[in-house]
């Protein structure tokens, strides 16, 4: 794949990490469903085209997803990278982009899907938490996993402290995963993630920071 789009809803720190990683392919647009998303200004300041497809302007989830898919096709984005994109996507949208739609989620899936993952991890008392890059399938936060990074949960952690520790790893593994998919080293085949090279895959599958 030679081009990608990044979908955001807010801050855009993962978008920034992706753009700064100089991935092998052109970022043809950053698209937000919220005109006020802070990440839009940062992308524009770096010369990346930006678009807004405001979900509030559409009567239904289906209508919004159709407009979003059209915007992606219009700019020519092959790989679609969800980076803090806070919308549940319809099965039709997910099917249309099957194998080229990726998300980052702030937990070690399948633990803690959905929102408020850091609060949930602290409430559950887990000792290890982290983040996951995965291909998107219709079920929320459930798709085949590309790379995960683990971090310790420390005594006295607050949700914010834990979120910051996880976010540092998100900024490392998302560009790694996007690069592997853009280079064709990692693909979705029959619902499973297939790597060209076992050694690379083992090396990248789990990142455990020192």
Residues contributing to the site for ligand GRF (CB under 6 A): 8, 10-14, 83-84, 104-106, 167, 170
The residue number whose beta carbon is nearest to ligand GRF equals 84
* DSSP-derived pairing of the beta strands 50-52 and 3-8: unpaired
Beta-bridge partner residues of 17: none
**Of 100 and 134, which has the nearer Cβ to ligand GRF?**
134
Distance CA 63, CA 67 (A): 6
Quickly count helices (H) and strands (E) in the chain: 7, 10
Instruction: Give the CA dihedral 3, 75, 105, 42, nearest 10 degrees.
Output: 100
Residue 171: active-site member: no
- The tokens of 191 are what? 């619902």
Distance CA 30, CA 117 (A): 25
**Of 12 and 175, which has the nearer Cβ to ligand GRF?**
12
Q: State the nearest-atom distance from the C-beta of 121 to ligand GRF, in Å.
A: 13
**Of 28 and 104, which has the nearer Cβ to ligand GRF?**
104
**Of 66 and 144, which has the nearer Cβ to ligand GRF?**
144
Which entry of 96, 105, 116, 134 is annotated as an active-site residue? 105
**Local structure of residue 31 (DSSP, 8 states):** E
Distance CA 80, CA 83 (A): 10
**Annotated catalytic sites, by residue?**
105
């Amino acid at each position: 794949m030679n081009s990608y789009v990044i979908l955001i809803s807010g801050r855009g720190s993962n978008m920034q990490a992706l753009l700064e990683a100089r991935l092998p392919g052109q970022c043809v647009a950053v698209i937000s469903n919220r005109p006020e998303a802070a990440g839009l200004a940062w992308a524009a300041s770096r010369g990346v085209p930006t678009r807004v497809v405001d979900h509030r302007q559409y009567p239904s989830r289906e209508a919004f997803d159709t407009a979003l898919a059209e915007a992606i096709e219009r700019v020519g984005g092959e790989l679609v990278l969800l980076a803090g994109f806070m919308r549940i996507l319809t099965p039709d949208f997910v099917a249309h982009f099957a194998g080229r739609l990726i998300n980052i989620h702030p937990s070690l899936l399948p633990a803690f899907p959905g929102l408020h993952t850091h609060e949930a991890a602290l409430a559950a008392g887990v000792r290890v938490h982290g983040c996951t890059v995965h291909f998107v399938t219709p079920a929320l936060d459930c798709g085949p996993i590309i790379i995960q990074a683990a971090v310790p949960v420390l005594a006295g952690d607050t949700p914010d402290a834990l979120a910051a520790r996880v976010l540092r790893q998100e900024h490392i593994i998302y560009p790694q995963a996007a690069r592997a998919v853009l280079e064709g080293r990692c693909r979705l085949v029959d619902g499973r993630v297939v790597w060209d090279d076992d050694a690379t895959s083992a090396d990248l599958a789990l990142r455990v920071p020192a």
